[in-house]
Structure 1
């Protein structure tokens, strides 16, 4: 076979098919992190693109340069071996070697939150894979245009052209999501409408909705534990705070369920209103308000307006607020006239419905006295920090409002367990770890540092700082650096937009450069700590950024 245009049709088809399947599989493997980030962004393409084209990382540009490099090598291999019958195999060999080297590099890239094969995840994965195959075959078929051209082996070109796929793979993920979007919206609407019908069918069910910038999951779990002393309770699991998450939880409602507790999350105006249309809450609970997610809201006032959508839900008859958060308390004016309002917390000036006194903290937990009018009850919880006790007071106030006695509330508090990654204490080989890695805000960080300060021994902080703070990113992280400098002996800074501000705050606070360590991410931080931690050390992990921030 000296004329390279005389390959049989069967051979051409089989060769291209095998190469395109290999190309698709290779790109599927390399897209694991991209798929996970899209999923973490709620399958919203806008948030995914923000990560993909992030200024510092330039992920898409890196992919494009790498793809063009591979294309150039394969193209050159195809040209220089054009006169050889086995040129396609040589070119394919070059491609496979380059793919192997890429896979070796990509295998070291760890995803903090891997792609989860939920029902929707499976549909996205299938659509993405089909698009990969279609585009791979289309690019390979383009080589047929060179059939019969002198000094060119067109079949070798069928290897070179699909190498461009590595650059466009992230875009194909977005395209797959957009193609599925009409179906997913209709499917989600079906679940939501079904949930609404089920809730309407249970008119005696007490419905509690909880919202705020932070503390939602913690207070929800506290409240569910305390209320279970007297009632049959169903609460949304983990951080299921979206329409679909709430709708799927409603499926578990039974005729015996007396109270339904739902966490209401938001990133944009209107999100809480949409959730309230599903839940139709009787009781509203506002947790702390902070500048969290300010990048998507635009301002603190807009955050407050969005959280107030819960208070403006038509059937709310009682609303609870934290006494120690002025921003949350400012929303009391947003309730309707016939809605009863309650305040709980430490600040006596706010005349709280429920408060606490004699607060003490040790390595085992927190002790305090519940004060409800003239009644008092001594309580101990394994949770650390005054902030956690303030959350307990808010949850307990709701329980008291629903008829529990103070003794029942105290018994419920004793059963409360720490929520994962929220000031959770883990002891490991005489090293105490305070895991506060789930999200972060300026108020929560201060509390975490107070808890760390209460312990003896060398104190280590591991943090990337606070993100999604918009124009306040520098100001907030600089203040965090100042506060950390007064408490911590070693500070490990992970890569983030707030890293520079953190560093400058630490230096301003009196820390020496030798006390500050820079690492790429939490994986690198853990490796570093293995070599420096000693018995008796106390380590605070404050915030752990998802892949969409790295």
Structure 2
């Protein structure tokens, strides 16, 4: 975090300052901010956030023991540290982030990119950050820090020397993206796609469209919206941009996109794509698995080139990326049995993309195995969408379909109904049961996809299989 006095910090969060020891209102604090006492380092700021399972106020002493210089609390705590008392710790975190971003922006060098979409946010964020970091200090979220806590924590990592901030905006309901993007007012807003992910929380696909379009509305006047020309709902955000005087830059596979892929070839070691960037032909050899990640790369290129990065340079930097993020199309195992662990998140769109990738990268003498768990946050659409995944797996010719968990059972039932029977499709209640089956069932030449939402926990099964077959 940038250097601020205790008085400035208290003003920023509209809190009451309670000094401890030798501290004065002019005492300077510049350490990192966190809501996890285990992550606090010397000089850091601990935000005592009440949680669903526990209360951050219980861990103020632990934060102090780790060197916290300040605690932001909702009530005073008997601890050896100065404290700022606020009405709502999460709201205070947002207020502090807004204040810090504004202070850094006053210096005139900071450029801010906001990214949203039903799928691909984290991969696109990581690809863009990789392009930008060679041109100046770049701050981007760790993992998927994209909610009301994670997004402000990322913003608070800004320093006086930060040139680029890449913010990822997720949402579980209407208004959340507007609140988060409103903290920074991005120079560039990137919208990847509008799909069924979290549709249960939004109330349907049209409500999801309105929620994702909040980012376009949050872009500063005179800024830029980068939109997916291939997604009709994203393309429908162009009039919103026009109403606000915001230019649009398009990415996609069609001829109308300024940044487009005209030919794509998927292999087991990555994806080759012939690109056209503002009229110039380029070849991208992306080591990240999956044709769907080409679209994420196009979005990152569109943003980077809009920020002044040379297209060929940006492509060369993209080609150094070996893994978008842990548990996202992560290759494990060995050439004998290749495990693709993609079980950090799942939606109908990402599930379909992962299954298609599995089919594309498997050779004629190899066998496709899909290990599938539930997709969360689909609400009333859950049964229908799980049925669709089972149907797609059969239509793609996946040779072994292993479904895990009661919430995913519809995939198994649909696969059987579509003709995948006689042990081609199997169901297990737990990941442990599936593991015991898979370590005896898998054989040389198998290509195995492990895919589910985070809540299903199959990412750990993927890790276990990767270690077993390493």
Structures share a fold, TM > 0.5? yes
Distance 2:53 2:384 in 1: 41
1:202 alignment partner, one of 104, 110, 114: 104
Unaligned runs of 5+ in 1: 1-114, 131-176
**RMSD of aligned alpha carbons:** 2.8
TM-score, scaled relative to structure 1: 0.65
List, as ranges, runs of 4+ consecutive aligned residues in structure 1 with deviation greater than 3 Å. Answer: 115-130
In the alignment, structure 1 residue 228 sits paired with structure 2 residue 133:
yes
Q: How far off its partner does 1:185 sit? A: 6.0
The equivalent of 2:448 in structure 1 is 539
CA distance, structure 1, for counterparts of residue 382 and residue 337 of structure 2 = 32
Q: What is the distance in 1 between the residues matched to 2:281 and 2:355?
A: 30
Contact 2:219–2:225 (8 Å) recurs in 1: no
Q: What aligned pairs does 1:243-392 form with structure 2 within 5 A after superposition?
A: 243-313=148-218, 315=220, 317-335=223-241, 336-348=243-255, 351-392=256-297
Work out whether residues 208 and 281 of structure 1, in 8 Å CA contact, stay in contact via their aligned partners in 2: yes
- Counting only pairs closer than 5 Å after superposition, residues 424-443 of structure 1 correspond to structure 2 as 424-428=330-334, 430-443=336-349
Larger radius of gyration: 1
- Deviation readout 1:445-469 (Å, 9 max, x if unpaired): 2221121112121111111243322
Once the two structures are superposed, the pairs formed by residues 156-167 of structure 1 within 5 Å of their partners are none
Unaligned runs of 5+ in 2: 1-35, 40-45, 59-73, 78-84, 459-470
Q: Which residue of 1 aligns with 2:404?
A: 494
Q: Identify, as 1 or 2, the structure richer in helix.
A: 1
Determine the structure 2 residue equivalent to 1:394.
Answer: 299
Partner of 1:484: 393
- Give the Cα–Cα distance (whole angstroms) in 1 for the partners of residues 292 and 333 of structure 2: 21
Distance 2:157 2:219 in 1: 25
Q: Answer whether contact 2:412 2:427 (CA < 8 A) is retained.
A: no
1:468 and 2:468 aligned = no
Q: How many residues align?
A: 382
Cα distance change of structure 1 residues 372 and 127 upon mapping to structure 2, 3 Å threshold: closer
The answer to whether the 8 A contact 2:265-2:272 is kept is yes
Call closer, same or farther: CA 1:499–1:380 in 2, change over 3 Å. same
In the other structure, the counterpart of 2:82 is none
TM-aligned CA distance change 1:311 to 1:125, over 3 Å: closer
Q: Following the alignment from structure 1 to structure 2, what is the Cα–Cα distance between the partners of residues 285 and 422? A: 20
Q: Residues 429 and 406 (structure 1 numbering): CA distance in 2 closer, same or farther, change over 3 Å?
A: closer
Q: How much does 1:128 deviate?
A: 11
Change (3 A) 1:201 1:482: same
Aligned equivalents of 1:477, 1:126: Cα separation in 2: 34
Distance 1:127 1:285, change over 3 A: closer
Tell me how far apart the structure 2 counterparts of residues 275 and 129 of structure 1 sit (CA, whole Å): 25
Residue 308 of structure 2 is aligned with which of 388, 394, 403? 403
Q: Deviations over 1:338-376 (max 9, x none)?
A: 10001111122xx00111233212221111222123311
What TM-score comes out, normalization by structure 2 length?
0.75
- 1:529 and 2:438 are equivalent in the alignment: yes
Which residue matches 2:95? 193
Q: Report the Cα offset of residue 545 of structure 1.
A: 4.3
- State the distance in 2 between where 1:272 and 1:194 align: 18
For residues 431 and 184 of structure 1, do their structure 2 counterparts lie closer, same or farther at Cα, with a shift above 3 Å needed? farther
Distance of 1:414 and 1:284 partners within structure 2: 24
2:357 to 446, 451, 470: 451
CA distance in 2 between counterparts of 1:526 and 1:291 reads 29
Distance of 2:375 and 2:53 partners within structure 1: 32
> Matches of 2:359 and 2:185 in 1, distance apart?
43
1:213 match: secondary structure: coil
Secondary structure of the 1:531 match is helix
Q: CA deviation at 1:521?
A: 2.9
Deviations 1:161-195 (A, max 9, x none): xxxxxxxxxxxxxxxx9xx9xx8962223322222
- 1:277/1:529 Cα in 2 relative to 1: closer, same or farther (>3 Å)? same
